[in-house]
């Protein structure tokens, strides 16, 4: 039976980096596919493989039922396409970059999903966010406070701590996906 891996974590925790790492390591060698997100954000911004949409394009696709999962956060809209359902039905395990706030909805829609929470210490997150240069000090402080609040209420998550080298946490993600894949075979 195929599984949906729902990867979540605060901005700056390193979700995109770990997912990119896992994607390059797995690279079609297993029955795993990585979904891209549709985001109302310019292309090539950030470290995420995403499809850039205008607000109007997003609204049209949402109204037409083209998203399996969709939410808004920080003045942006995010969607995971309906194609994940086809992939799951064909027996593929699917890895998506999700949202902590949207998690209860995702769990209701996909009761067997595997939730992976990527965490990092506040100091590491601050350093990463400052390095991106997209937010001022007050916005970063608000993100840190929000991270503590959102992560406190999460249950049934597999946590990957991402304070060190990418390979350490990245291999944990690869192993988690690979072990689950082998257990399902």
DSSP letter for each residue of 29-43: SSSEEEPPEEESS-T
* Domains, the chain, with CATH or none: 4-184 (3.40.50.300)
Compute the distance between CA of residue 89 and CA of residue 62 in angstroms, rounded to an integer.
22
State the average pLDDT for the chain.
88
Tell me, what's the pLDDT at 105?
94
Structure tokens at 94: 């699917």
pLDDT at 29 over 60: yes
Compute the distance between CA of residue 78 and CA of residue 163 in angstroms, rounded to an integer.
26
**Can you give the pTM of this predicted structure?**
0.88
Helix (H) or strand (E) holding 69: strand 67-73
Band (pLDDT 50/70/90 cuts) for residue 184 is very low
Band (pLDDT 50/70/90 cuts) for residue 148 is low
Q: In Å, what is the CA distance from 96 to each residue of 100, 115, 130, 131, 163?
A: 12, 10, 26, 25, 21
> Per-residue pLDDT tens for 99-131?
988 999 999 999 999 999 999 998 998 888 888
Tell me, what's the pLDDT at 185?
46
Tell me, what's the pLDDT at 82?
97
Give the distance from CA 91 to its chain's centroid: 21
User: What is the mean predicted confidence (pLDDT) over 49-67?
Assistant: 93
Nearest residue to 185 (alpha-carbon basis) of 33, 35, 34, 31: 31
Structure tokens at 173: 């993600």
pLDDT at 164 over 90: yes
């Amino acid at each position: 039976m195929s599984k949906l891996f729902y990867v979540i974590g605060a901005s700056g925790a390193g979700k995109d980096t770990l997912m990119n790492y896992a994607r390059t390591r797995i690279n079609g060698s297993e029955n795993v596919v990585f979904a891209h997100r549709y985001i109302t954000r310019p292309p090539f911004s950030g470290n995420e493989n995403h499809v850039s949409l205008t607000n109007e394009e997003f609204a049209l696709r949402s109204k037409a039922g083209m998203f399996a999962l969709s939410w808004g956060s920080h003045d942006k809209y995010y969607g995971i396409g309906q194609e994940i359902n086809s992939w799951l039905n064909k027996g593929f395990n699917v890895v998506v970059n999700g949202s902590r706030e949207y998690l209860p909805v995702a769990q209701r829609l996909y009761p067997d999903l595997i939730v992976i929470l990527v965490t990092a210490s506040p100091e590491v997150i601050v350093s990463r966010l400052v390095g991106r240069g997209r937010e001022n000090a007050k916005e970063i402080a608000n993100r840190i406070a929000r991270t503590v609040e959102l992560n406190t209420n999460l249950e049934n998550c597999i946590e990957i701590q991402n304070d060190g080298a990418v390979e350490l946490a990245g291999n944990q993600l690869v192993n988690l996906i690979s072990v689950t894949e082998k257990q399902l075979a």
